[in-house]
C-alpha cells in the first residue's frame, strides 16, 4: 500500500490554468499618494507664469497717461460760470486751446484741473491787489512772486507731461497751461501765478475768456 501524498493537497487556491493572465500587482497607499502629488505639481507648473512682461505694462501705463492728460485739458472748453467765477469778455475770435494743464483762479481759491482740493485759498481782493498772497505761501518773503504750494503741484504735472511727450517721441521742451481766471483777478496775483508757471517749466500760456456778444 502506497503512502504517497498529493502535492496539491492543502492548497488554498487551485493551480493556474494554462494561458491565464497573471493578476496585476497592487500598489500600496503610500506609492499611490506620492504619484498623485507628483501629478498635481506637474499640472500646476504647466499653468504658472514664471516671468513678468514689463514692456507691455509700460505701454499700458503710457496710454493711460496720455488719456489722463487729454481729459485734464478737455475740461477747459466747458467752463461753467457762477458767482465765484466770471470770465473776462473779449471780442477776439478763436477756438479754445485743448493742450496743457488747466489752472483755475476763482474769487476764493486757486485750483488745478478738476481737483476739488484748492492749492491755496485766496484772501480778500484788496489784500491780493496790494501784496499778493501771504508770505507763508512764498519762498522768500512777501515780495517774492514764487508760490510754493502751486509749484509743488505743477512739478507733478510737468513730470506727467514729460512722460507723454517722450511716449509720443516729442522733445521735452516746455509744458503748456490753460489759465481760467475770474475777471476781477488782481494783476498782482496773476503775475505771481505766471511767474510760478515759468519757474516750473511751463513756458506757454492760454488765457481763457468768454466771447463778447453783440
205 occurs within a structural domain: yes
Q: What mean pLDDT comes out for the span 142-163? A: 89
174: domain range? 56-211
Q: Which residues pair with 182 in a beta bridge?
A: 87
Torsion-angle region of 36 (φ positive above 0: left; ψ -120 to 50: alpha; else: beta): alpha
Residue pair 96/176 in contact (Cβ under 8 Å)? The answer is no
Enumerate the β-bridge partners of residue 109. 121
pTM above 0.85, yes or no: no
pLDDT in tens, 51-94: 566 677 777 777 777 666 655 554 445 566 666 666 666 555 55
| 89 lies in some domain | yes
Is 204 part of a structural domain of the chain?
yes
Instruction: In whole angstroms, give the CA distance from residue 91 to residue 210.
Output: 9
Q: How far are the Cα atoms of 77, 122, 123, 150, 197 from residue 108, in angstroms, in the given order?
A: 21, 5, 7, 15, 20
What is the reported pLDDT for 121?
A: 92
The total of structural domains in the chain comes to 1
Q: Does 41 map to a domain?
A: no
Nearest to 87 by CA among 76, 101, 72: 76
Residue 44 lies in a domain: no
Angle, CA 195 vertex, CA 193 and CA 198 arms, to 5°? 110
In a domain, 24, yes or no: no
φ, ψ dihedrals at 108, nearest 5°: -115, -15
The answer to whether residue 203 is domain-embedded is yes
Greater model confidence, 76 or 35: 35
Asked whether residue 194 is assigned to any structural domain, the reply reads yes
Residue 145's pLDDT is 92
Amino acid at each position: 500500500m502506497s503512502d504517497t501524498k498529493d502535492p496539491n493537497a492543502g492548497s488554498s487556491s487551485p493551480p493556474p490554468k494554462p494561458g491565464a493572465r497573471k493578476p496585476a500587482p497592487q500598489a500600496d497607499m503610500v506609492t499611490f499618494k506620492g504619484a498623485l502629488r507628483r501629478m498635481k505639481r506637474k499640472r500646476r507648473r504647466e499653468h504658472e507664469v514664471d516671468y513678468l512682461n514689463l514692456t507691455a505694462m509700460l505701454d499700458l501705463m503710457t496710454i493711460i497717461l496720455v488719456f489722463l492728460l487729454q481729459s485734464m485739458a478737455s475740461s477747459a472748453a466747458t467752463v461753467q460760470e457762477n458767482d465765484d467765477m466770471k470770465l473776462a469778455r473779449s471780442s477776439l475770435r478763436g477756438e479754445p486751446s485743448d493742450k496743457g494743464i488747466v489752472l483755475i483762479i476763482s474769487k476764493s481759491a486757486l485750483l488745478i484741473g478738476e481737483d476739488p482740493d484748492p492749492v491755496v485759498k485766496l484772501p480778500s481782493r484788496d489784500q491780493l491787489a496790494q501784496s499778493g498772497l501771504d508770505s507763508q505761501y512764498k519762498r522768500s518773503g512777501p515780495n517774492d512772486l514764487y508760490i510754493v504750494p502751486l509749484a509743488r503741484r505743477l512739478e507733478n504735472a510737468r513730470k506727467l507731461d514729460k512722460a507723454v511727450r517722450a511716449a509720443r517721441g516729442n522733445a521735452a521742451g516746455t509744458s503748456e497751461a490753460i489759465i481760467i481766471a475770474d475777471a476781477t483777478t488782481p494783476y498782482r496775483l496773476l503775475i505771481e501765478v505766471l511767474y510760478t508757471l515759468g519757474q516750473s517749466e511751463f513756458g506757454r500760456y492760454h488765457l481763457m475768456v468768454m466771447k463778447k456778444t453783440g
